[in-house]
Structure 1
Amino acid sequence: MDTQEDKVGFTPFAEILNGRLAMLGLAIGFLTELMTGKGILSQLGLM
C-alpha cells in the first residue's frame, strides 16, 4: 500500500505557493499606489 504525505501544514508546496502569492500581492500594491498616487491606507479610507 502506498503511503501518502500530509497535504496540510508547512509543506514545501504550501510555502512556495504562499511566497508567490505574497510577492504578487506586494507587486499589485505597489502598482496600484503608483497609478493612484495614494497609499493603501488612503485608498481604503483609513487616513
Structure 2
Amino acid sequence: METRSSSNVPPVATEYNGVDRNAFLFGWTPQAEIWNGRLAAIGFLAYLLWDLAGYSVLRDVLHLMSY
C-alpha cells in the first residue's frame, strides 16, 4: 500500500492555468466557470425557496402586466 507524505500536498488547489481555483478572475477562465456554476446554484435555490413559499414568478409577472 502506497502512502504519500503530507509535504507533497500543494498549498493551494490549482486549476488548468495554475491559479487558485477559488480566485475571482474575469474572462474565459476555469475559475470564472466555477463561480458561474456556484452563483447559478444559489439562484436556483433562491427561486426554489421562493416558489415553495407560495409565490410564483410567472404569476407575479402576469399580474404586473395586467395593470
The gaps in structure 1 that reach 5 residues or longer are 1-6
Q: CA deviation at 1:9?
A: 2.1
The aligned counterpart of 1:20 is: 38
Please give the TM-score of this superposition, normalised by the length of structure 1: 0.65
RMSD: 1.8
The gaps in structure 2 that reach 5 residues or longer are 1-24, 63-67
The aligned counterpart of 1:11 is: 29
Q: Aligned AA for 1:22?
A: A
Over 2 Å off, 4+ runs:
none
The structure in which a higher percent of residues are helix is: 1
| Cα distance in 2 between the residues matched to 1:19 and 1:8 | 14
Q: Considering Cα pairs closer than 8 Å and 6+ residues apart, tell me whether 1 or 2 has the greater RCO.
A: 1
Answer with 1 or 2: which has the greater Rg.
2
The aligned counterpart of 2:59 is: 42
Q: Figure out how many residues of one structure are paired with residues of the other and give that number.
A: 39
Percent identity of paired positions between Structure 1 and Structure 2: 39
